[in-house]
Amino acid sequence: MKIQIKSILTLSLIFMGLSVFSQDEESLEDLFKVDYDTPLTLDLEEEEKEDNEVGPVKKKKKKKKRNVYFGIKTKKGFTRTGFGNDVVFEIFHVLKEYEGPPEYAADFYWYDYKKKKIMNSLRVDKRNAGVLHGPYKKMLGDQVLEEGWYYKGMKHRRWVRFNRHDILQDKSYWWKGWPQESKLAYYDFKKTKLKEVIPVHFGEKDGEYWAFHEDGSVAVRGNYKHGHKVGLWREYYDGGRVKREVVYPEDPFDFKFNPYIAREWDNKGVLIYDRKKFLRGQN
């Protein structure tokens, strides 16, 4: 006995609001794959035969845990914005338990339950925050606009971005918030204690530089641009006290600029050198 069932897809629950957050097993990714023109066919007789067949016991395959990424449980959700042919969906996952951004994080992505949208901010409303973790997809109808992964609120793995005509606009690779080209050094063999992060883009130093003490506190922080140090660099004592501020040119190709120490403190936090006061004293 065969039953012909015409495939009907209703998104009435979705269109009732601008945003929905769900823990259901099905996702919008599955909904977008529905073929509206092809009816579903269920062969109930064939299914009954298979259920009544006597044969060797088949070994059950180990089921893959759903919504678990990098060994961490997540909840699935999506947002909907726009109208008519311009409706955009964002499909994502968030940590079940909140974890704040690490000290070195430059970007931190989380879902604001109150505002019903994805935020990129280090200032987090913990009471209404779901930290993004796992696969992410942004879609306009069947067209993928952006796709990638998050790891505890930071970009991870491969990210791609397309325009409405499916033309690739951007592609980048990340490792837990760092551009994948970046060079990471560790204190230990197991790579649990980060020592230094040298930002690298297109083969040259470019971006925010970090160095850490063995206890995990920041040792040095500054920026590179086109392979040269630029702007203000800070050095720190163990525990977080600022040790020294060094100023480099804003223009990486300003070779006439001589870097200088702007201020310096002892390990108790007492200012021992201020360049502005020193120069005023000489005049």
Structural contact between residues 148 and 177, judged by C-beta atoms closer than 8 angstroms: no
DSSP 176: T
Query: Which tens digit of pLDDT belongs to each residue from 226-242?
Result: 999 999 999 999 988 99
Closest alpha carbon to 88 in 143, 34, 149: 143
Structural contact between residues 136 and 92, judged by C-beta atoms closer than 8 angstroms: yes
pLDDT confidence of residue 60: 66
Closest alpha carbon to 92 in 107, 105, 111: 111
Query: Which tens digit of pLDDT belongs to each residue from 20-70?
Result: 444 343 333 343 333 333 333 333 334 344 444 445 556 666 677 789 999
- Name the residue with higher pLDDT: 50 or 141: 141
pLDDT confidence of residue 33: 39
117-120 and 183-186 beta bridge pairing: unpaired
Q: Looking at the predicted structure, is the pLDDT value of residue 243 above 60?
A: yes
SS3 149: strand
Interacting residues of 97 by C-beta distance below 8 A, sequence separation 6+: none
**Average pLDDT for 89-102:** 94
Q: Looking at the predicted structure, is the pLDDT value of residue 152 above 80?
A: yes
CA 97 → CA 43, 47, 72, 239, distances in Å?
A: 43, 41, 10, 28
Q: Looking at the predicted structure, is the pLDDT value of residue 135 above 70?
A: yes
- Alpha carbon distance 51, 45 (integer Å): 10
Question: For residue 229, what are the β-bridge partners?
Answer: 224
CA 173 → CA 1, 46, 92, distances in Å?
A: 52, 47, 18
Q: Which of 59-63, 204-208, 278-282 has the lowest mean pLDDT?
A: 59-63
Q: Looking at the predicted structure, is the pLDDT value of residue 244 above 70?
A: yes
pLDDT confidence of residue 27: 38
pLDDT confidence of residue 172: 87
Mean model confidence pLDDT for the chain: 81
As given in the structure block, the two tokens for residue 193 are 């204690």
CA 33 → CA 24, 26, 28, distances in Å?
A: 17, 12, 9
